Structure 1
Amino acid sequence: MNIQIFGTNKSFDTKKAQRWFKERGIRFQMIDMKEKGMSRGEFDNVCRAVGGWAKLVDENAKDKDTLALLKWLDESQQADKLFENQQLFRQPIVRNGRQATVGYCPEVWEKWE
């Protein structure tokens, strides 16, 4: 397994995900999205794995203006705008190769083992 956890240190669900993998002795790479965002290739792969960019959006994000803008943009521009504003992502985003989850999903991670 090659686990990557994208999130921030302030995210409660990101901390829970890290603890879940640590408790099972599964090595992972933590990517702090405040320091280093997701690359375009990673973003595209995660979107494919979870069923589209809309699944990545955190409706409770603090940046309400960009959230509102995202809803009104043309469909062809929405994914690009979300990629540019990664603070709108639900956390954590956990990748294992071509598989990915958004949010705290231990029921899915168990199947990866």
Structure 2
Amino acid sequence: PDFVYQAWRLFIEGRPLELAAESIGEEHYLSEVLRSIHVGLLCVQENPEYRPNMSYVVLMLGNEDELPRPKQPGFFTERDLIEANSSSSQRKPPSANECSISVLEAR
């Protein structure tokens, strides 16, 4: 989740290339990296109705048409943004989530 928050923050601040590793090297790949980040953020939007289906994702990655602006990712709160900005030494370890799943069967 921290990566999604960081990606969103850098995207809305106009600095998405900071997500890319310095090892990308060749500049002609930068537009592909930016497009991939943009499409990735479209895929994790909070409202599932706004998320593209896979055929549209493939279409978006395969052309150079303008992409819609992504909306806020799911499971995103202002607290998450503040925590993402804090130093790693101040972060708390993630908690373990437990759940049980019941399978219902007809009689």
- TM-score computed with the length of structure 2 as normaliser: 0.29
**Which structure has the higher relative contact order (CA within 8 Å, separation 6+)?**
1
- TM-score computed with the length of structure 1 as normaliser: 0.28
Whose helix proportion is higher, 1 or 2?
A: 2
Whose strand proportion is higher, 1 or 2?
A: 1
